[in-house]
Amino acid sequence: MRDLPYPKYLDDPPTLLLWRLDDLMPAVIALVIGILIGHPLVLTLAGFGAGYGYRRYRESRPDGFALHWLYWQGLMPLKARSTPNPFARRFAP
């Protein structure tokens, strides 16, 4: 029986080869856009640079910071009834 590589923790994000998927997505999106406009190499390199910048930004913040920021900006609405509106900044008792 062959050993399978398991993540170190149960809630680790999915990976592809050496990279986490959220680090790799800017390069993939930039590659697709580069193919559409005719400059795949330039935009793929820019995508890897954006992924590197995002990784440095993510590592300097607490876990889940990006999701909290998206919610706070109103870009990720939650469907729970107990979740307040992200645009309501003040609550009266």
Average pLDDT of the chain is: 83
Angle at 48 between CA 28 and CA 9, to 5 degrees: 80
Q: Phi/psi of residue 14, each to 5°?
A: -65, 150
Domain ranges of the chain: 16-72
Mean pLDDT (whole number) for 4-11: 69
Question: What do you get for the CA distance between the two ends of the chain, in Å?
Answer: 61
Percent of the chain, pLDDT > 70?
Answer: 96
> Two tokens at 54?
């995002």
pLDDT number for residue 88: 77
- For 39-71, the pLDDT digits (tens) are 999 999 999 999 899 888 888 988 888 888 888
- For 14-44, the pLDDT digits (tens) are 777 777 888 888 889 999 999 999 999 999 9
Q: Strand (E) positions, the chain?
A: 15-16, 19-20
